[in-house]
Amino acid sequence: MDRRVAALLEPLVEQSGHVLEAVTITPAGRRRVVRVVVDLPAERTDGLDLDAVALVSRDVADALDGPEGTHVLGGSPYVLEVTSPGVDRPLTERRHWSRARGRLVTVPVGAADGGGTLTGRVGSVADDGVVLTTDGVLRTVAWASLGAGRVQVELNRPTGGPEDPRGKDGPEEDGTDEEGEG
């Protein structure tokens, strides 16, 4: 992540209720492509609203076109892309796992948790790790054992069943917040 650009943009993105996931700057001929990836915080279970992303994009463009942005980018022309993380984004942070509750994932695990690769549905996310349902069995995998998880695309994703922690109407209400604190 380009730290100087991220430092400029992070407060704007957070003010809009989003999280700055990544900033990359790639040369493209005489211009550069500035790609800004925004996501929702862990406690939000709804989808990323395209109108909200458009507003974030406008604020980001204004900041990059202003004096501080010109200083950070060196005044050269750029193309701005503001986007959300794709389904192929690896689950590497606690908030990624929290937002993936109810989704089917594949994740490499360390030897302490049996080694190899697990495929299961993400249940709860807590201080001690992530609870996965694999073959109908709940299994807590410690943070230290979790590799980068990958969400599996499901065309007919089940909802409201025994393996879906969201229930019929959304996230599970267990008296704790997404970060595992009550």
What DSSP string describes 33-68?
Answer: EEEEEEE--TT--SPPPHHHHHHHHHHHHHHHHSHH
pLDDT of 45 reads: 66
Is pTM beyond 0.75 here?
no
Kindly report, residue by residue over 79-103, the tens digit of the pLDDT. Answer: 999 988 877 888 988 988 988 888 9
Pair of tokens at residue 129: 């790790």
pLDDT in tens, 32-84: 999 999 988 877 767 778 888 899 999 999 999 999 888 888 888 999 999 88
Domains and CATH numbers, the chain: 3-83 (3.30.300.70), 87-182 (2.30.30.100)
Residue 132 backbone dihedrals phi, psi, to 5 degrees: -115, 140
